[in-house]
Structure 1
Amino acid sequence: MDKIKEFAQWVMDAKKITVLTGAGMSTESGIPDFRSENGIYAQEENVEYYISEYYFKNHPVDFWHKFKRIFSLKLMGNFSPNQGHLFLKWLEDIGKKVVILTQNIDGLHEKAGSTNVVELHGTLQTATCPKCQAKYDLAFVNSHDVPRCVRTLKNGKVCNEILKPDVVLFGGMVQRFEEALQAADGSDLLIAMGTSLEVAPVNFIPSYVAAEVPHIRKVLVNKTPTKMNDVFDIVLHAGIGETVAKVQQYIADAR
């Protein structure tokens, strides 16, 4: 059977679908990924050092200057979900239970309307005060060169602490990982989309499923080969938008 048709049939058969998404999920929205020829690593030097826990703690002002430039933070609110994001929302609309485990920090799955998104690496959409835990949105962060907390404390003074972005910085802990494993473990179908599967511990999820729950079907959609291709039952090296358009059309015709 054609791989696209088989993929579509597996989607139709599944009640619970877990989707692992990486930076390639958002490149069709205009957001650069990290590891491609034109990605963030190619354009910036020492990325992992400058957006690390260490650098924020020791050089918070310069951290924000570099963080905003690296992630084009002024533009982040202007990006829109692409066909891949909308496809995952459509799966919910046709009655599938979909859990999205995303490595992305752009918030586009939520913008698309997906209701069950586990942001393993946090989000660019907000920042939090390390001192008093007040939370601020992207508009506030973008309106200040170095965003500081403006909350008035009990002593009447303004907090004024430099905010910390709500993303997992290098050297920080991935969020909600046990929840992610449980979601994958309890699914009928695991789909990895737009991820090089290079980053630990998130790249452990497909191999864990293959070893511990081998009956779960596994599909990889990524433009380039990964070191974990052999873990998946179906591998499609193609653009996400064009792939899901074909899958969606096949499902729509079959319903």
Structure 2
Amino acid sequence: MRIVLLTGAGMSAESGIPTFRDALTGLWARFDPQRLATPEAFDDDPALVWGWYRWRAARARQARPHAGHLGIAALETLGHAVSVVTQNVDDLHERAGSSRVLHLHGRLLASRCAGCGARIDPDPIVAAPPPAGDGAREEPPACAHCDGGRFRPDVVWFGESLPGEAWNAAQEAIVACDLLLVVGTSGLVHPAAALPLHALAQGTPVLEINPERTALSTRADAAWPLPAAAGIERLLARLDASPEADPRTLIGPR
């Protein structure tokens, strides 16, 4: 079976990574996250923005994949063709063992020059030493490949376009899949929120796994009011019991 998973912040929250809009702590309690996630913010105060993302990257590296991440990776070992389309910027899907992960909003644990796009190894956003305590301002490294460039997080900021290659690959995966799972996402962030609607329009079964109801809940073929780990565990159990089941039968009625 060709399975696509669209995962959002609720997926990573079970590993202890706060959602983007969760309350900040320490130094960062004084700042609005959305004002730290724009190109203009980086231009105005690069040390503040770089320091905040270094702090976020350090926290993400401390997190561990949970049973839901591991369950998604296990779908591949069962012989299914699995694509993970994630709005999350951490690397928990990869660390769990998923081999095809498309990052729509970029990668928190990577950086690039804001001027020329150059990258260096080791990546400075995860360089030692990690930020102390709750983080602090840090001047971003200067780029050695261009004049005046500074390194920035390799994430999609407000007002920026999604990476074209990942977005095109996500759309292609949706078109080709037999089942779409929408896990831990509010469905409020566009254009990713449109992907389940494309699947429904072409007749592809859509299962939502989310403890909270969303705008998709009444439109999906089935909506399981479960956290990510519990929902994936249920899916694996059903696949184990009926490995040849039709996708609609597998996920059950709404």
* TM-score of the aligned structures, taking structure 2 as reference length: 0.81
The CA distance in 2 between the partners of 1:41 and 1:180, in whole Å, is: 31
- 1:34-79 alpha-carbon deviations (Å, 9 max, x no partner): 35xxx2489675321221121112321222233345x3x3222111
1:67-216 → structure 2 map (5 Å cutoff): 67-69=53-55, 71=56, 73-132=57-116, 133-136=118-121, 137=123, 138-140=125-127, 143=130, 145-149=138-142, 151=144, 161-175=149-163, 176-211=166-201, 213-214=202-203, 216=204
* TM-score of the aligned structures, taking structure 1 as reference length: 0.81
CA contact (8 A) 1:146 1:162 kept: no
Q: State the partner residue of 2:36.
A: 50
Letter in 2 for 1:203: A
The CA distance in 1 between the partners of 2:214 and 2:30, in whole Å, is: 23
- Alignment of 1:250 with 2:235, yes or no, is no
1:207 shift after superposition: 1.0
- Alignment of 1:32 with 2:25, yes or no, is no
Give unmatched runs, 5+ long, in structure 2: 132-137, 244-254
CA contact (8 A) 2:187 2:216 kept: yes
How many pairs does the alignment contain? Answer: 229
Q: Closer, same or farther in 2 for the Cα pair 1:195/1:47, shift >3 Å?
A: same
Moved more, 90-99 or 243-252: 243-252
* Aligned partner of residue 89 in structure 2, secondary structure: coil
1:238 corresponds to which of 226, 229, 233: 226
Letter in 2 for 1:77: R
The CA distance in 1 between the partners of 2:23 and 2:75, in whole Å, is: 31
* Aligned partner of residue 52 in structure 2, secondary structure: helix
What percent identity do the matched residue pairs reach?
A: 29
- 1:161-215 alpha-carbon deviations (Å, 9 max, x no partner): 431111111111112222211110110000000000100100011112212x12x
The CA distance in 2 between the partners of 1:21 and 1:64, in whole Å, is: 26
CA contact (8 A) 2:46 2:140 kept: no
Letter in 2 for 1:226: T
Give unmatched runs, 5+ long, in structure 1: 1-14
CA contact (8 A) 1:18 1:98 kept: yes
Letter in 1 for 2:91: G
Letter in 1 for 2:211: K
The CA distance in 2 between the partners of 1:146 and 1:244, in whole Å, is: 41
CA contact (8 A) 2:47 2:140 kept: no
CA RMSD of aligned residues (A): 2.4
